[in-house]
């Protein structure tokens, strides 16, 4: 009995020592939680509405290793996100939808047999403000049958484009904004077009005259290069793990469907096609159906390139 108590105490000491070492080892921007035989790294610790959440996991419990668990996906804010096996664990990126109210939300990690673990994640709300715009009536609320038919077809094309994302994260670098000009309209604003409430602004607008070269934010594959009713000439790039970037209102395409593009490679020229009030570039980042603030993703994407438990010894980058 006495010996058991001592063993228990030593075990407790070892566990707490291990946990504190893990906490100490978490690189900047990550928080780490040890739960159910896993080490779960999150960045940022408290995401807000319209922001990405990078999740990296590793098994630290021998008995879990023996089970040969294959993690496959995660569920967060009622949406499903991909997980990719990496050296020693898994990584993925989730996102908090616009309009999410502050609170605690469950992050479920799913394996091939069901839910493997659940973690409570604190989420902040974020008010992006309101914007009133005036556009042509047929652009705000299309009525003509040929336009309605076209919009319906566009939706199907978009569904196909977003339907198949690579199972591996394709980018080897942090995401960069396609232009460095002044932003003329921020992400996330609630929009009133001709006085009627519409979807919030799903991206950020950059000042651009017609014909300015637009580069890809990161390496990926072109899954759409087409002229749509609202977006005008649009390019969508898949970066894997359901991370997509969108470039809208272009005047010219410089890529085609299926092209593999590198970070910074010119994919088109800015313009004023589709629903616009003037020439500009609309740039969006969509993660498994959720629009996130592209400018914040420029910063947050660096966490997708790190193996948190190897940062510091020179092996922390993919
Ligand atoms: Zn826009």
- Report the separation in Å between the CA atom of 76 and the middle of ligand 1, taken as the mean of its atom positions: 26
Distance CA 268, CA 271 (A): 9
Q: Which of 241, 220, 305, 234 is nearest to 268 (CA)?
A: 234
CA 177 to ligand 1 center in whole angstroms: 14
Q: In order of start, what are the domains of the chain with their CATH numbers?
A: 30-126 (2.60.40.1930), 130-287 (2.70.70.10)
Going from the Cα of 149 to the center of ligand 1, the distance in angstroms, rounded, reads 23
What is the whole-number distance in angstroms between the Cα of residue 42 and the centre of ligand 1?
A: 30
Closest of 168, 173, 171 to residue 84, by C-alpha: 168
What is the structure's pLDDT at 23?
Answer: 47
- DSSP SS3 for 157: helix
How far is the centre of ligand 1, averaged over its atoms, from the C-alpha of 187 (Å)? 8
157 CA distance to ligand 1 centroid (A)?
20
Interval between CA 283 and ligand 1 midpoint (Å): 7
Angle at 281 between CA 275 and CA 283, to 5 degrees: 100
Question: pTM higher than 0.85, yes or no?
Answer: yes
What is the CA(155)–ligand 1 centre distance, in A? 18
**Cα–ligand 1 centroid distance for 204 (angstroms):** 5
Q: Helix, strand, or coil here: 21?
A: helix
What's the 160 CA to ligand 1 centre distance in angstroms?
A: 22
Distance 288 CA to ligand 1 centre (A): 19
With vertex at residue 236, the alpha carbon angle to CA 229 and CA 218, rounded to the nearest 5 degrees, is: 150
For residue 142, the CA-to-ligand 1 centroid distance in Å is 19
Contact criterion met (CB below 8 Å) for 248 and 282: yes
For residue 197, the CA-to-ligand 1 centroid distance in Å is: 15
Provide the pLDDT for residue 255. 98
CA of 183 to the centre of ligand 1 (A): 10
**How is residue 310 annotated by DSSP?**
G
CA–centroid distance, 276 to ligand 1, in Å, is: 8
CA distance readout (Å), 134 to 139, 140, 193, 317: 10, 8, 6, 47
Compute the distance from residue 72 Cα to the ligand 1 centre, in Å. 34
What is the per-residue pLDDT for 1?
Answer: 47
Q: If you measure from the C-alpha of residue 77 to the centroid of ligand 1, how many angstroms do you get, rounded to a whole number? A: 25
Strands (E), 148-279: 183-185, 190-193, 196-198, 203-207, 213-215, 220-228, 232-238, 243-250, 252-253, 260-261, 266-269
Q: What is the pLDDT along the chain (318 residues), one digit of tens a residue?
A: 455 777 766 665 555 555 444 444 577 789 999 988 899 999 999 999 999 999 999 988 777 666 777 899 999 999 999 999 998 899 999 999 999 999 999 999 999 889 999 999 999 999 999 989 888 888 888 889 999 999 999 999 999 999 989 999 999 999 999 999 989 999 999 988 888 888 899 999 999 999 999 999 999 999 999 999 999 999 999 999 999 999 999 999 999 999 999 999 999 999 999 989 899 999 999 999 999 999 999 999 999 999 888 875 544 545
d(CA 122, ligand 1 centre) in Å:
29
Distance 54 CA to ligand 1 centre (A): 25
173 contact partners, CB below 8 Å, separation of at least 6: 218, 219, 263, 305
């Amino acid at each position: 009995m006495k010996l058991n108590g001592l063993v228990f105490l030593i075990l407790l000491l070892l566990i707490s020592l291990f946990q504190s070492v893990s906490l100490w080892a978490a690189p900047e921007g990550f928080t780490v939680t040890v739960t159910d035989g896993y080490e779960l790294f999150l960045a940022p610790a408290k995401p807000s509405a319209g922001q990405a959440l990078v999740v990296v996991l590793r098994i630290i419990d021998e008995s879990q290793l023996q089970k040969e668990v294959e993690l496959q996906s995660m569920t967060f804010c009622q949406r499903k996100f991909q997980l990719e096996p990496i050296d020693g664990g898994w990584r993925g990126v989730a996102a908090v939808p616009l309009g999410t109210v502050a609170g605690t939300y469950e992050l479920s990690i799913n394996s091939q047999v069901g839910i493997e673990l659940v973690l409570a994640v604190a989420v902040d709300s974020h008010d992006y403000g309101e914007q009133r715009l005036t556009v042509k009536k047929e652009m705000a609320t299309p009525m003509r049958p040929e336009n309605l038919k076209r919009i319906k077809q566009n939706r199907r094309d978009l569904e196909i484009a977003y339907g198949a994302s690579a199972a591996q994260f394709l980018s080897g670098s942090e995401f960069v904004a396609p232009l460095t000009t002044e932003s003329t309209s921020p992400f996330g604003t609630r929009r009133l077009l001709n006085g009627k409430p519409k979807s919030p602004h799903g991206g950020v607008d950059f000042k651009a005259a017609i014909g300015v070269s637009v580069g890809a934010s990161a390496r990926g594959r072109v899954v759409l290069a087409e002229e749509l009713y609202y977006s005008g000439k649009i390019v969508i790039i898949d970066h894997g793990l359901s991370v997509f970037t969108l470039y809208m209102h272009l005047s010219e395409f410089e890529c085609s469907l299926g092209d593999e593009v590198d970070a910074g490679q010119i994919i088109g020229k800015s313009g004023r096609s589709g629903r616009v009030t003037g020439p500009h570039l609309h740039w969006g980042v969509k993660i498994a159906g959720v629009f996130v603030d592209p400018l914040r993703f420029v910063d947050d994407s660096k966490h997708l390139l790190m193996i948190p438990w190897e940062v510091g010894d020179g092996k922390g980058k993919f």
